[in-house]
Amino acid sequence: MGCKAIIFDYIGTLVAPVNYSMDDSMAKLHSALKAEGFEVGKEKFLEAYKVSHEKYRLVRYGQLREVTNAVWVSEALNSLGFCTKVDDAKIKSALNVFFKDFTDTFELRIDANILLKLASGHCKVTLISNFTYAPVIYCSLRQLGIKRFFQLVVVSDACGWRKPSQNIFNQTLEKLHVTPQEAIFVGDSPSEDIKGAMDAGLKTVFVQSQFNSLADLDASGLKPDFVFKDLSDFCRKFSQVTESF
């Protein structure tokens, strides 16, 4: 049969946010919205955003349906007396500022480039990322110089489903014209990456990250096909993984 596709998670697995502050980003989001004409106090906005975020968190994690941040921001602003729509260009402009603050902290993990070169020389290489605003993921891949490695990039915001839903895996495999038995998924989250890929019938590789340790994997009770402490370890045993098909 052979391995025909290697599918990677993005944040945590291939890139690591370094010295990121959510509080700073939220302050910049508020400032960006004010610059776009939405005159509202910071604390009032942050409280309204928190309420909206929690509402859609239940949808995102309960139903595994992705909801873009533009929905949360629009609803928060409307609760404060504004009249906005999800596709409001002013909201999108403010979100670009908000998320750029996050993606600017991304650094490629050690040997990520080497691993992607190995993978792209062997089979189709794809990325699946849980992220609520797809444009910044596409931009980030270009900024880091790794977009060229991927034949397909699937972001939950654009797909409508988020990992561990089997739908996002199935849609990706269909676009690749690959069966689950011909693909392997590489990720750092036991609950989203490993469980989702296993449920969809893919082979799985767990790579420890700043967000999820080997102890976290053990606690999950999940048994991926391969476990590596970092990307360098994966690179050294790359042929072992691909020859397991």
Token code pair at residue 22? 């959510």
Q: Are residues 65 and 97 in the same domain?
A: yes
Both 117 and 186 in a single domain?
yes
Whether residue 142 is found in the same domain as residue 204:
yes
Q: What is the pLDDT of residue 10?
A: 98
Residue 70 domain boundaries: 22-103
What pLDDT digit, counting tens, does each position of 206-220 carry?
999 999 999 999 999
**Are 80 and 140 within one domain?**
no
Domain count, the chain: 2
DSSP helix/strand/coil, 3: coil
pLDDT-derived band at 168, boundaries 50, 70, 90: very high
Please write the tens of the pLDDT for every residue from 17-48: 999 999 999 999 999 999 999 999 999 999 99
Q: Are residues 125 and 40 in the same domain?
A: no
Q: 3-class SS at 127?
A: strand
**Do 120 and 83 belong to one domain?**
no
Asked whether the beta carbons of 192 and 130 are under 8 A apart, the reply is: yes
Strand partners, 16: 107
Calpha distance 163→171 (Å, rounded): 12
Same domain membership, residue 120 and residue 174 = yes
C-alpha closest to that of 204 among 215, 217, 216, 232: 217
- On the 0-12 / 13-18 / 19+ scale of CB atoms within 10 A, 219 is exposed
Same domain, 33 and 132: no
What is the pLDDT at residue 245?
Answer: 86
Q: How confident is the model at residue 184 (pLDDT cuts 50, 70, 90)?
A: very high
Q: What is the DSSP string of 78-91?
A: HHTT----TT-HHH
Residue 1 has pLDDT above 90, yes or no: no
CATH number of residue 194's parent domain:
3.40.50.1000
The DSSP output letter for 189 is: -
Which of residues 51, 85, 103 is at a domain's end?
Answer: 103
Last residue of a domain, one of 103, 122, 138: 103
How many CA atoms does the CB half-sphere of 199 hold within 13 Å? 15
Pairing of strands 15-17, 203-207: unpaired
pLDDT, tens digit, 9 for 90 and up, residues 62-121 = 999 999 999 999 999 999 999 999 999 999 999 999 998 899 999 999 999 999 999 999
pLDDT in tens, 125-148: 999 999 999 998 999 999 999 999
**CA distances, 145 to each of 43, 52, 138, 161, 208 (Å):** 38, 35, 11, 27, 23
Angle, helices 69-79 vs 89-103, to 10°: value is 120
69 alpha-carbon distance from chain centroid: 14
- Given 103, 129, 154, the domain boundary residue is 103
Is residue 8 predicted with pLDDT exceeding 90? yes
Task: Flag whether pLDDT at 2 surpasses 90.
Answer: no
